[in-house]
Structure 1
Amino acid sequence: MPSYLLPTTNGIDWSSEQPPTYDVPNPRQILRICLNLKYLIDKVVPILYDEKLIMCDHSRILNKHVLSLAREACGGKKDDPKSIHKYQSVIIFSLLKVCSWYWDLAATELHNAELYCLRASAAQQLCKLVIEQEEGREAQFLFIQMLCRRYVINENDEDSIAENALELAMDMHCTTVIGSSGYQRCLKWLWRGWIIQSRCDHKSYVICDSVSSSKFTRHFHPDRLKTPMYQNIINIMFSFVFLVLYTVVVNSKDSKAVQPIEFLEGIFYFFTLGSVLDEISKCYHVGWSYIGFWNSFNGAMYFIIMSSMILRVVSVSPIQTHYPAEYWDKISYRILSCAAPMVWTRLLLYLESKRFVGALLVILKHMMKESIVFFFLLLLIVLGFLQGFVGLDSSDGNREITWPIVSNLLLTVLGAGRFDMFDDFAPPFATILYYSYSFVVSVILLNILIALYSTAYEKVIDNAVDEYMALMAQKTLRYIRAPDEDVYVPPLNLVELFLTPFLHFLPPKMAKRISVFVMTILYFPLLLGVAVKEVREAKRVFYNRMKKQEDDANETDVAWDLTDGYVDEADGWIPNSESSGIMATQKRNKRSLKLQKDAENADPDFKVKGEWFQSVKSAIQPVEHGFTSGIGWEMYDVYREATEQREASDKKIDELTMMVESLTKMVKELAPQSDSSEK
């Protein structure tokens, strides 16, 4: 069988579903590891290199020897695998901490800012190299211990909050680390619920023990709803319901009289309260790291709807106010109508898994951040000119047109300012002042805003793939950074809020059973679909483990590997046989290999000789040799120039040799003719 047709494996033993447990370093030991890594990077990057020499995949600076030194910087007994695993499990977390230190130095020591930023990039690249190297060795150890395990470091004699490398890289927006293959695979496993948080220790994660089980009851359980993918599906469904309810409520007003709160309107407020409580809960548990652009967007939308809801309740309540109930009812509907653009735009948050929409949202977020600079400058300039106009208005002792002036200044920003109102106002000072204001706003500030938007667009587009992967990382970790014992997706979290006081008075086991029963009733249709889907996937996972491959192997059937893929159709919607799909896959692979081998052996002259493969390997030796030995690009260029000069010299020698041979031949041909002529 040709070697290129065989499936590739990393030699990973998946016989045990639960990974082995490891001890972890204490906070002071993690600090020492960070100091050792910082010392290494300082020595490896002593001066300002070209960033491409460090960030390329086979860097001569961050070579294989430096990667080995980074692992040795973690300490541990070399001949004790358990000791090595204990201390090297924090290497990615420590490198990210060192990267944050360099960024702090770059912000405080501006004269060396470029060097510190380069060293921070080197720390990120080392993280990427470690992740890719460990992915080929022990994928479970990489996912569970290096990336998902939460660690505590002691900084300035204070222990930090427990955090893992996944969260730290996302919070720091380290796109180099986020874009590595091992990081993305770990996120994919978390997204699917193959990696879950341990019930015994909130700092650790484990491989879900039901991934390879084909038993329907192992998957038909509310705990599977902790999976980010399923929570996202539920959120999308509830978002469309929320949009329909909002449309009905905002367009149902058909009389001036105050109408009582109807059923659908009450359900709409029920949805809103549940979402607000969920946002507050996650912000409380995660902290400031949870606050982002889209969280602020949702917060503004919920604030508008909650304001409308309060006024609506006031209008139907017996509370006596200075204004009649009809007034508050009218204001309530007007405020609620202003939330319509935000309610519709909110749907984009759940379409960000599509690459085009995701990149669009990242561009929009960066543009909004860049707008802060523009609005800060605009505020200062408007206040300055406003004070000038107010001074001109009060110069005669009376303030007559202050508010029209304020309105006109704001309209000028939108391009609708009027010059005629300043013709008879404090001539010629008001006219000169307004012309100056119009020039500064229309010509200078608006062009600055365009330049900022253009910079934000180019910044995202040039790094669109990494930015999209960072967005998806944020989306995944959004669901697991504040895990709940019982998953009640808003607005069903109000059901949990109602049940919690009663469950506290019951024994823990009974309270858990009641909660599971309630969630099973609420999510029954979705749990049924989840169980059917996961049982079908479990057969493929079992097949992969039987072949000593990784759980996520054979998901797609590519054209260049005849033994990959899995025959899902053989299992049916609900598999009724333990080996139907496995037997069908093996039969298909055997047939494909036989047909391919027969077709290749049809012509004895078709087969490529083994020397060709050796030639291909030798062609890539300079790159691999540089990464292994650490020979710099300069030495490689010298070697290449010397080789080119030698080849040119050899070519000239060959040409001269051919000329000498041709002249010799001509002389030999002329010699007999000269002899005959002499005779």
Structure 2
Amino acid sequence: MREDHLLPISKKESLLPTPNSRQILRIAINLKELIDTVIPVEFDESLIVSNKSRIINTNVITLARQACGGDISNPSSISKYQAVLIFCLLKVRNWYLSLGDSQLHDYNLYVLRATACQQLCKYIIEEEEDSGEYDYLLINMLCRRYVINENDVDQEPLSALELASDTHALVVIGSSGFQRCQKFLWRGWIIQNRQDPMQYVLAHDFITNTKFWAHFNPERLKCPMYQNALQLFFSVIYLILYTIMVNSKNSSAVQPIDFIEGAFYTFTIGFIFEEMVKWYHVGSYYLNFWNIFNNSTYVLVIISMIVRCISINHLFNIHDPRAIDTLSYRILACASPMIWSRIIFFLDAEKFMGTMLIVVKQMMKESLIFFVLLIFIMIGFLQGLLALDSADGSSDITGPIVGNLLLTILGESSFKMFEEFAYPYSAILYYSYCFIIAVILLNILIALYSSAYQNIVDNATDEYLALMVQKTLRYMRAPDENVYIAPLNLIELLLQPLAMMMKRLNKNDYMVKVMHHHVMTMLYFPVLIVVSIKEVKEAKRATYNRLKRLPPDANELDTPWDLEDGFVDEDADSVFTSNIRKGLKATNAKNRNTMQKQQLAEQEDPYFSVDQAWHENVKNSSQPVDKGCDSGVGWENYAIYEKVCSLKQE
């Protein structure tokens, strides 16, 4: 008997019509008017970013929802327009940041308003999550792509999830509902709509399906978590091939390309092809520091491969092919640090490693300021020293001058040459150069590194969460109907002519999909077995949670303070058993036994238990946070405020 009919159904429609771009623009303008009015002058930022802000209170949240319009008598109409609320607030935040850059006299005010937009997003996400409308929040508010009209031009479709990641909105990204959305995407619980790959739906068929063969499907490899694991696996193989290849040359003679070398070059071509495809689909958003790092590695390998092919090809009439062959291996040897570093990029799902990678990336960005200053200063001194060299009509020591200036940056300065050349003019210039480099510029670089490290460490958790969202979107933003992980994507490329012919003969792509399905099933057979076993166990717990009206990711941890959480999988040893009722009965029995044991242990001493009055006193001892913030006076002043109000009534 299927249990799906017992699953809770959202009160709001799961797939709503999309407002047009002009309607979305009007909602954003309304929200900007609200923020401008609520924050007319510069406040202390703590009044905005506190969890219970007296500025962004319940009244402001209500007005933000009303700014979306819609028919108040029609819940579907209200839901349709309020679905773009997070997206519009993030757009308004971008407007404020742009205004801050163009109107520097009010920069702090615009930044504060941008912060208020983020806080408002956070509160709205939390409200939707508390209401239990997970489908509506995750699919319509966060994952669905919307188009806004700006300056009479419809912008590229973006979701609130993508917009928050692209603009580094850390407050929004750190909210619990946003992180649940990222977790569902990472695990493959939110997937692309089969009819429209630009939209996403909750994968109910996978989340709560406890049948093994339902998960034995190459479609599941679209899940970012599995793609990341497979990429790590192939990267380790790539590293092993490279290690064997560069350490196996034991002769100066030119040897033909063997299996290991051919496999290494095949992997490289597959990785390059994957980069090109993702860059084509995602565009400039895909290009970042780590992609540039990877592409630099591939360039070195390709150059080495071309030189190697030239050395073994007699058509080029090379006089000394052994020298060319040696050159190819030396170029390849220079890629060793970069190829080993590639492994680190797939380990950034761990918080420590991810945070350190963010620090390194930020330091590299900060280094640009140092190198810009260095280049201009170095060119200025270089021109002066070269002019001194050519003052007598001949340039004799151009090379040593350039070499000395470069070595000075590394701390290997030599004063002897400048004491013997054009003295004292060259000595004055060179001493000044050394002072500027060693005392000023290098200390500026150290200060920039220190500042970058401190900023990242102070916001380590938020930065890590933002990194995970970016990592997830790297897999989701490039819609790929057939998931062939590099270098297996070369197989897809070889099948492309056959696929085009089949599509032309059948007038549709059904047979093409069937072909790719069977090919991927054979390629990923061992992986799919592991994935299916893992997901069947998760589906049993997720189904139990949904039967209990809980989100599917609940009860993952059995905490000591909650005596009725956790899940007992009665059929954990059998992945082919799809009956959830055994697990439900076993979990309920475990909870009953735990509560009975706890009650018996507490009743051993009749004076042990606290009375109900203690619980009431605990409730009464809480500060009036909600009332104080809604009133605008703050919880710390609410008692005085309440007293004044009562006196006025008297």
Shorter-chain TM-score: which interval? over 0.9
Partner AA of 1:514 in structure 2: M
- Gaps of at least 5 residues in structure 2 are 1-5, 645-650
Whether contact under 8 Å (1:162, 1:203) holds in the other structure is no
After superposition, residues 408-487 of structure 1 pair within 5 angstroms as 408-487=404-483
505-514 or 608-617, which deviates more: 608-617
- Once the two structures are superposed, residues 534-582 of structure 1 have per-residue CA deviations (whole angstroms, 9 ceiling, x without a partner) of 1111111111121121111111100111111011364314143513322
The offset of 1:619, in angstroms, is 2.8
Could you say which structure has the larger radius of gyration?
Answer: 1
Amino acid at match of 2:517: V
Please give the alpha-carbon distance, in whole angstroms, between the structure 1 residues aligned to 2:627 and 2:93: 28
Distance 1:637 1:46 in 2: 27
Distance (Å, rounded) in 1 between the aligned partners of 2:265 and 2:578: 48
Match of 1:276 among 272, 276, 281: 272
2:51 partner letter: D
| Partner residue in 2 for 1:5 | none
Indicate if the aligned counterparts of 1:18 and 1:207 stay in contact, CA closer than 8 A. no
Could you say which residue in structure 2 is the equivalent of 1:20? 14
| C-alpha contact 1:423 1:431 (8 A) present in aligned 2 | yes
1:22–1:86: 8 Å Cα contact kept in structure 2? yes
Unaligned runs of 5+ in 1: 1-11, 643-679
Q: Report the AA paired with residue 387 of structure 1.
A: Q
Aligned partner of 2:371 among 367, 371, 375? 375
* 1:171 aligns to 2:173 (yes or no): no
Report the CA distance between 1:527 and its aligned residue. Answer: 0.4
> Secondary structure at the residue paired with 1:344?
helix
Q: Which residue of 2 aligns with 1:217?
A: 213
Q: Give the one of 137, 141, 150 matched to 1:142.
A: 137
Are residue 317 (structure 1) and residue 313 (structure 2) matched? yes
* Letter of the structure 2 residue corresponding to residue 202 of structure 1: P
Q: CA deviation at 1:175?
A: 0.6
What is the rounded CA distance, in whole Å, between the counterparts of 1:472 and 1:145 in structure 2?
Answer: 21
Distance in 1 between the 2:134 and 2:12 partners? 13
CA shift, 1:158, in A, is: 0.6
Q: Retained in 1: the 8 A contact 2:197–2:479?
A: no
Cα drift, residue 332 of structure 1: 1.1
In 2, the alpha carbon distance for the partners of 1:109 and 1:229 equals 43
Correspondence for 2:495? 499
The farther-off stretch of 191-200 and 544-553 is: 544-553
Structure 2 residue matching 1:196: 3-state secondary structure:
strand
Q: Is the 8 A contact 1:571 1:577 kept in 2?
A: no
Tell me the alpha carbon deviations over residues 580-603 of structure 1, each in whole angstroms, 9 at most, x when there is no partner. Answer: 322221111111111122223333
1:322 Cα deviation (Å)?
A: 6.5
For these two proteins, the number of residue pairs brought into alignment is: 631
Match of 2:28 among 34, 46, 58: 34
Structure 1 equivalent of residue 3 of structure 2: none
Aligned 8 A contact 2:628 2:636 in 1? no
Per the alignment, in what secondary structure is the counterpart of residue 607 of structure 1?
Answer: coil
Larger mean Cα displacement after TM superposition, 616-625 or 541-550: 616-625
Answer yes or no: is the 8 Å Cα contact 2:13–2:76 preserved in 1. Answer: no
Over residues 517-543 of structure 1, what are the superposed CA-to-partner deviations in whole Å (9 max), with x where a residue is unaligned? 111111110001111111111111111
Partner of 1:241: 237
1:517 maps to which residue? Answer: 518
Equivalent residue for 1:49, pick from 27, 43, 56: 43
Say whether residues 1:78 and 2:56 are aligned partners. Answer: no
Partner of 1:106: 100
What is the aligned partner in structure 1 of residue 627 from structure 2? 625
Q: Counterpart of 2:531? A: 530
- Contact 2:15–2:140 under 8 Å retained in 1: no
Contact 1:17 1:207 (8 Å CA) reproduced: no
Deviation per CA, 1:76-109: give whole Å up to 9, x if none. 1122110111000000000000000011001110
Equivalent residue letter for 2:435: F
Aligned to 1:588: 590
- Inter-partner Cα distance in structure 1 for 2:603 and 2:484: 61
Partner of 2:541: 540
Measure the CA separation in 2 of the matches of 1:568 and 1:17. Answer: 30
Q: Give yes or no for contact 2:210–2:578 (8 Å, CA) kept in 1.
A: no
Give the superposition deviation at 1:632: 4.2
SS at match of 2:197: coil
Report the Cα offset of residue 344 of structure 1: 1.0
Q: CA–CA distance in 2 between the matches of 1:262 and 1:448?
A: 50
- The separation in 2 between residues aligned to 1:430 and 1:383, in whole angstroms, is 15
Report what 1:664 is aligned to.
none
Distance 2:523 2:109 in 1: 56
The aligned counterpart of 1:397 is: 393
Query: Hey, what does 1:611 align to over in structure 2?
Result: 613
1:285 is matched by which residue type in structure 2?
H
For 1:504, what is the secondary structure of its paired residue? helix
Relative to the length of structure 2, the TM-score reads 0.94
Amino acid at match of 1:186: C
Asked if 1 retains the 8 angstrom alpha-carbon contact of 2:186 and 2:224, the reply is yes
Indicate if the aligned counterparts of 2:49 and 2:115 stay in contact, CA closer than 8 A.
yes
Q: After the TM superposition, which of the residue ranges 567-576 and 512-521 deviates more from structure 2? A: 567-576
* C-alpha displacement of 1:251: 1.5
Partners of 2:94 and 2:114 within 8 A in 1:
yes
Q: Distance in 2 between matches of 1:319 and 1:162?
A: 52
- Tell me by how many angstroms 1:629 deviates: 2.3
Query: Could you tell me whether the CA contact under 8 Å between 1:55 and 1:121 is conserved in 2?
Result: yes
CA shift in 2, pair 1:60/1:17, >3 Å = closer
Question: How much does 1:18 deviate?
Answer: 12
In the aligned structure 2, how far is the partner of 1:491 from the partner of 1:637? 67
Equivalent position SS for 2:201: strand
Whole-Å Cα distance in 2 between the matches of residues 637 and 306 of structure 1?
73
Describe the superposition over 1:446-480 as per-residue Cα deviations: whole angstroms up to 9, x where unpaired: 00000000000110011111001111111111111
Deviates more, 1:321-330 or 1:363-372: 321-330
Work out the CA distance in 1 between the residues paired with 2:261 and 2:593: 62
Highest RCO, 1 vs 2 (Cα 8 Å, sep ≥ 6):
1
1:117 to 111, 118, 132: 111
- Change in Cα spacing, 1:637 to 1:396, as seen in structure 2 (3 Å) is farther
Aligned mates of 2:119, 2:409 — CA distance in 1: 45
Return the TM-score normalized by structure 1.
0.90
RMSD of aligned Cα (Å): 1.9
Q: Is the 8 A contact 1:222 1:519 kept in 2?
A: yes
Is 2:360 the counterpart of 1:359? no
Q: Against the structure 1 CA distance between its residues 198 and 391, is the aligned structure 2 distance closer, same or farther, given a 3 Å change threshold? A: same
- Name the CA distance, whole Å, in 2 between partners of 1:324 and 1:57: 73
C-alpha distance in 1 between matches for 2:7 and 2:130? 12
Aligned letter for 1:580? K
SS of 2:417 mapped into structure 1: helix
Contact 1:600 1:606 in 2 (8 A): yes
Deviation at 1:129, TM superposition (A): 0.7
1:116-158 deviation per Cα after TM superposition (whole angstroms, max 9, x unaligned): 0010000011111111111111111100100000000000111
Contact 1:102 1:119 in 2 (8 A): yes
What letter corresponds to residue 517 of structure 1 in structure 2?
H
Using the aligned pairs only, state the percent identity.
Answer: 53
Deviates more, 1:50-59 or 1:569-578: 569-578
Shift of 1:640: 11
Residue type at the aligned position of 1:415? G
Residue equivalent to 1:90: 84
